[in-house]
Amino acid sequence: MKNILEAKCMKEMIEVTTNMYRLGWDERNGGNISYRLDKSDISDYLDVTNVIRSLPMDFDASALAGEYFIVTGSGKYFKNVASNPEESLGIFRVASSGDAIDILWGYENNSVPTSELPSHLMSHIARMSVDPANRIVMHCHATHLLAMTFTHSLDPKAFTRTLWQMCTECLVVFPEGVATIPWMIPGTTEIGEATAEKMKETRLVVWPYHGIYGCGKDMDEVFGLIETAEKAAEVYTYVQAQGGVKQAITDENLHALADAFGVTPKAGYIS
Q: Name the binding residues for Zn(2+).
A: 139, 141, 210
182 closest CA partner among 161, 198, 158, 167: 198
Q: Are 204 and 226 in contact (CB under 8 A)?
A: yes
73 closest CA partner among 55, 84, 89: 89
Cα distance between residue 107 and residue 69, in whole Å? 13
Cα distance between residue 210 and residue 61, in whole Å? 25
* 116 belongs to the catalytic site: yes
What's the order of all strands across the beta sheet hosting 100-106? 53-56, 100-106, 89-94, 68-72, 32-37, 136-140, 211-216, 204-207, 179-180
Marked catalytic residue, from 116, 221, 230, 234 = 116
Which residues fall in the annotated binding site? 139, 141, 210
- Within a 10 A sphere around the Cβ of 217, how many other Cβ atoms? 16
Helix and strand counts by DSSP (H, E) for the chain: 10, 9
Tell me if residue 34 falls in helix, strand or coil.
strand
31 closest CA partner among 136, 115, 135, 134: 115
Cα distance between residue 254 and residue 137, in whole Å? 28
Residues marked active site are found at 116
